[in-house]
């Protein structure tokens, strides 16, 4: 008979180097807590369809759907995701059990030219797969030309080598975890280029019907409570905005002290011309409430019109 203590935890993950780094980090923490683990590599729609931009694929479950199917059929016990890839609403039969300690949240530029500088009037060509990053570049660096750059980090770097782009715009977390810090030529300030909800953290998802004791043990081993509070706020913002990775919304929650959470966020039009932004503070216990309030404020200030315009442009 298998007991909780000697159970092998099957960890579902995508197969990219970064995804495997995340899954192995979770595995290390579980092993330190006394569990045996095994990685189960699963290919998602987002991995297969690299010829289409994320906004063409849609935002719901592009990188998570097949992993979530594994949770439902019991072939895996937990799924490991980049937190920013998790859709705004998780199915009722699943739950986000834990969020690992967050890495530095900034967006960065990578270039093979160490002398590359991003100036206000720059007309450099920058590769990115993010609607949010493109829209913010349109606002703050309107002369920059952006191009679609999907695939894993190594695939994108090939495009740099081939001269398709002058630089790539990515999350610092992935660049750092893959040890490409030496290629960073610009760090965007997080209060100007506010990141996507969840950026820099790793999410652990499970089925609601996973054994309660096992859930509790897994959460105790991998969850970072401070990060968890922040992501509850950010994901409440995202849910209320009804947006995912194909919508140029942004939000970042931080702890001002042990009792107070601050959240900033907003939305920017695709052309960068309209930029809505607000900051709120609340007790940590009200993390989800304040995230929802921030989104409602942004929507009431013109966010609804921006979202409608984006939908019309893509239809």
Catalytic positions, please?
85
> Which of the 8 DSSP states describes residue 306?
H
Pure H helices in the chain: 17-32, 45-48, 54-57, 65-73, 131-140, 153-161, 172-177, 212-222, 225-241, 287-298, 304-314
d(CA 57, CA 42): 18
Asked if residue 82 lies in contact with residue 22, where contact means CB atoms within 8 angstroms, the answer is yes
* Torsion (CA) 282, 286, 289, 290 in degrees, nearest 10: 20
d(CA 128, CA 188): 14
What spatial distance separates the first Cα and last Cα of the chain, rounded to whole Å? 55
Q: Count H helices, E strands: the chain?
A: 11, 13
Interacting residues of 193 by C-beta distance below 8 A, sequence separation 6+: 106, 107, 133, 136, 140, 250
Element (H, E) at 182: none
Sign of CA dihedral 264, 256, 286, 229: positive
Q: Is 310 left (phi over 0), alpha (psi -120 to 50) or beta?
A: alpha
């Amino acid at each position: 008979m298998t007991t909780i203590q000697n159970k092998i935890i099957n960890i579902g993950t995508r197969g990219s180097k970064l995804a495997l780094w995340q899954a192995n980090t979770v595995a290390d923490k579980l092993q330190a807590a006394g569990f045996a683990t095994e990685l189960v590599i699963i290919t998602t729609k987002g991995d297969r369809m690299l010829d289409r931009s994320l906004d063409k694929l849609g935002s719901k479950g592009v990188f998570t759907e097949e992993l979530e199917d594994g949770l439902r059929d019991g072939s895996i016990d937990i799924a490991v995701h980049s937190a920013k890839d998790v859709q705004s609403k998780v199915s009722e039969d699943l739950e986000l059990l834990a969020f690992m300690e967050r890495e530095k949240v900034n967006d960065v530029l990578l270039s093979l030219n160490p002398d590359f500088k991003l100036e206000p009037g720059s007309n450099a060509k920058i590769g990115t797969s993010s609607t949010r990053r493109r829209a913010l570049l349109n606002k703050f660096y309107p002369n920059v030309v952006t191009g679609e750059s999907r695939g894993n980090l190594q695939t994108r770097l090939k495009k740099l080598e081939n001269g398709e782009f002058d630089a790539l715009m990515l999350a610092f977390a992935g660049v750092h975890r893959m040890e490409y810090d030496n290629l960073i030529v610009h760090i965007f300030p997080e209060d100007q280029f506010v990141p996507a909800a969840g950026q820099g953290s790793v999410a652990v998802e499970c089925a609601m019907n996973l054994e309660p004791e096992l859930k509790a043990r897994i959460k105790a081993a991998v969850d970072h409570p401070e990060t968890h509070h922040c992501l509850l706020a950010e994901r409440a913002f995202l849910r209320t905005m009804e947006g995912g990775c194909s919508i140029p919304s942004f939000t970042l929650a931080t702890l001002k002290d042990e009792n107070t959470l601050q959240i900033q966020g907003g939305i920017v039009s695709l052309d960068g011309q309209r930029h809505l932004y607000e900051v709120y503070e609340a007790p940590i216990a009200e993390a989800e409430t304040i995230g929802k309030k921030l989104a409602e404020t942004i929507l009431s200030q013109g966010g609804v019109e921006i979202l409608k315009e984006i939908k019309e442009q893509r239809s």
